[in-house]
Structure 1
Amino acid sequence: MDSVDLDVLRSALEWRRQGHRVDLVTVIETWGSSPRPPGALLAVREDGQVVGSVSGGCVEDDLIERVRKAPLTSGKPALTVYGVTKEEAARFGLPCGGTLRLMQEPLGDTAWIAELIARTTEHEVLARVLDMETGRVTLSPAARDEQISFDGKVLRTIHGPRWRMLIIGAGQLSRYLATMAQTLDFNVTVCDPREEYSANWDVSGVTLSSAMPDDQVLAMQLDAHSAVVALTHDPKLDDMALLEALKSNAFYVGALGSRANTAKRKERLALFDLTPEEIGRLHGPVGLRIGSRTPPEIAISILAEIVAVKNAAAEREVPSEASSCAVA
């Protein structure tokens, strides 16, 4: 669940506590071009105030009018579809004949929202299960690779930090990268056994480990939702992490350094039990080439590359029969 959707739930909870009527809207499926993926959230108040988004804007305007003029009175969720025909797609600003299938539900009991916010803040991944017949919501643990599902009776959405990032080194660059990564809902762990660095770490929300880098990589059991970035400039530490990370299922493994240093690093890695294919997975020099010079700019370039690889990996996860896509 990205930070936009978490803000939607926080706002919806506060509005309900203030006594407002609120409808929560969830993107179930998309066809053609769509700015928001399945699972994206929007909350609409009875007076037209809105937070979040499910499209480029025109659909939101129509949803607001629906809530104002004909609010749901049954207390049960209902399906709404936009863009069934080319004319409707054009009317609502859905490009390429796009279609949105949405779940609109009036919020009654909001205890589940408070619980979901609290548990995802503690880095739990949860499934929210909505019963169409009763409107009842239950929460249960979920795996990071689970996808949204709807069988006509039950809607199951996934919430929480689905992506993890392990940063080797607790230096200045790591501070910027860790802070930025959290805004994109990565669960961030920083590993640095050097006390002179870890003693001054003060980025909230980040797990700090003083373990040796290779031990930390093994302990985390990296999966296809994990990224590793080595930033210490110390081969003894960076290479230890890379030796294990390159053999893992991590979707991204990168290391800071010049082209010359990267070439030397690959020569060192080849002396160990790594295959050429595993060594070839290393992103180095790390980050996109955007002319970055300062630590914040370098952090942006690294995170941009990780996001690009992450989104490509996420697209490969979507079953072939699903046709959701995002606008670049």
Structure 2
Amino acid sequence: MDNVDLAVLRSARDWMHQGHPVVLYTVIETWGSAPRPVGSLLALRSDGRVEGSVSGGCIEDDLLRSAEHAQSGCKIISYGVSQEESARFGLPCGGTVRLLCESLGDSRWVEDVVARCEQHERVIRQVDIATGQVSLVSARGGEKLRFDGTTLYAPYGPAWRLMLVGAGQLSRYVAELAGALGFEVFVCDPRPGYEHDWAAAGVRFIGGMPDDAVAQLGLDAHTAVVALTHDPVLDDLALLQALRSDALYVGALGSRRNNERRRTRLIELGLTEAEVKRLHGPIGLPIGSRTPPEIALSLMAEVVAIRNGAQQQSPGALRCA
């Protein structure tokens, strides 16, 4: 679940507190090419106000015109089951989207989910389609939305984590993008003067040295680590730990020449050549980035490409930052 969908739940909560009837739509299944992935949310207020998206816009328009929001309980809605519907709703030929339509009569589960996500927890919402009954259970990082025909199991909260070594200007831009992309962001920087205002940005600051912070976090295949200090002592400490782990992505800021020197140092410090080959450095996709916002964009584009299976984990021939 990314911050876009969490914003949908926040709006639904606020509207219900204001006394507005609200219908929540969840993409529960797709076939073929679909505009929005499974799990995407849309909240529709009784006066027609919308937050979120379940398509490129045409399905939203139909939901606004329909009387679904006047009904109670749960129901399944399908779009694009024919070529005519696919064309009408802007879906590729053969594409189908199924939505769960819920009339929200109780805001308590919405409040609970939002509160737990804001505390960096991950939770699964179980919805009994026949009764509309909702229950919440704790979740691990790897769960995905699933629907067995009678019950929807929808995970919420950060499924991915990003640890940044270094709390400078670039890290601010990276953290902002990563948060919007559904990453829980951690920052470690033992240098004086850098630990300030991170909590206000929704980022968790970890004190101490980077290698200790990496060990404390416990890296897995849903975690990315990026060293951004330009200080070999701090960066290499974190990389030594991260490159031995199952981390999704391990990268280091610096030029091609500096990163070749870094790889030599890491081998001298005991890493194998196979482990060092996992290092992405320079970081980012080749977009000609120069400024901190551009470097942050290229970095997160590369991380997301690997997360989504659109790029191999081993570094490619071209990098830009």
* TM-score for the superposition, normalised by structure 1: 0.90
Counterpart for residue 319 of structure 2: none
- AA partner of residue 256 (structure 1): L
Greater shift in the superposed pair: 80-89 or 174-183: 174-183
What SS is found at the alignment partner of 2:268? coil
Counterpart for residue 87 of structure 1: 84
Percent of aligned positions that are identical? 57
In structure 2, C-alpha distance between the alignment counterparts of 1:200 and 1:31, rounded to whole Å: 44
| 5+ long unaligned stretches in structure 1 | 317-328
Task: Quote the RMSD (CA, aligned, Å).
Answer: 2.1
Counterpart for residue 27 of structure 1: 27
Counterpart for residue 244 of structure 2: 247
Whether 2:158 is the aligned partner of 1:161: answer yes
Asked if 1 retains the 8 angstrom alpha-carbon contact of 2:20 and 2:46, the reply is yes
Counterpart for residue 66 of structure 1: 66
Quick one: which of 272, 277, 280 aligns to 1:280? 277
- AA partner of residue 65 (structure 1): R
What SS is found at the alignment partner of 2:194? helix
Counterpart for residue 44 of structure 2: 44
- AA partner of residue 140 (structure 1): V
- AA partner of residue 14 (structure 2): E
Pair 1:314–1:128, CA change in 2 (3 A)? farther
State the Cα deviation string for residues 69-109 of structure 1 (Å, max 9, x = none): x5453x32101111112222122111132000111111101
Counterpart for residue 145 of structure 1: 142
Counterpart for residue 95 of structure 2: 98
Matches within 5 A, 1:221-260: 221-260=218-257
What SS is found at the alignment partner of 1:288? coil
Pair 1:5–1:30, CA change in 2 (3 A)? same
Pair 1:313–1:274, CA change in 2 (3 A)? farther
Counterpart for residue 186 of structure 1: 183
| 5+ long unaligned stretches in structure 2 | 314-321
- AA partner of residue 299 (structure 2): I
Aligned length: 313
Q: In the TM superposition, what is the alpha-carbon distance from 1:195 to its structure 2 partner?
A: 2.0
Pair 1:138–1:201, CA change in 2 (3 A)? closer
Quick one: which of 157, 169, 173 aligns to 1:176? 173
What SS is found at the alignment partner of 1:187? strand
Pair 1:72–1:152, CA change in 2 (3 A)? farther
Q: In the TM superposition, what is the alpha-carbon distance from 1:196 to its structure 2 partner?
A: 4.0
- AA partner of residue 10 (structure 2): R
Q: In the TM superposition, what is the alpha-carbon distance from 1:64 to its structure 2 partner?
A: 1.6
* TM-score for the superposition, normalised by structure 2: 0.91
- AA partner of residue 300 (structure 1): L
In structure 1, C-alpha distance between the alignment counterparts of 2:111 and 2:312, rounded to whole Å: 31
- AA partner of residue 225 (structure 1): H
Counterpart for residue 319 of structure 1: none
Greater shift in the superposed pair: 53-62 or 289-298: 289-298
Asked if 2 retains the 8 angstrom alpha-carbon contact of 1:127 and 1:159, the reply is yes
What SS is found at the alignment partner of 1:155? strand
Q: In the TM superposition, what is the alpha-carbon distance from 1:61 to its structure 2 partner?
A: 1.3
Greater shift in the superposed pair: 56-65 or 105-114: 56-65
> Of the two structures, which has the highest relative contact order with CA contacts closer than 8 Å and spacing of 6 or more?
1
Pair 1:64–1:200, CA change in 2 (3 A)? closer
Pair 1:146–1:267, CA change in 2 (3 A)? same
Greater shift in the superposed pair: 137-146 or 297-306: 297-306
Asked if 2 retains the 8 angstrom alpha-carbon contact of 1:194 and 1:210, the reply is no
Q: In the TM superposition, what is the alpha-carbon distance from 1:314 to its structure 2 partner?
A: 11
Asked if 2 retains the 8 angstrom alpha-carbon contact of 1:256 and 1:284, the reply is yes
State the Cα deviation string for residues 122-145 of structure 1 (Å, max 9, x = none): 100010111112211111110111
Matches within 5 A, 1:192-231: 192-198=189-195, 204-231=201-228
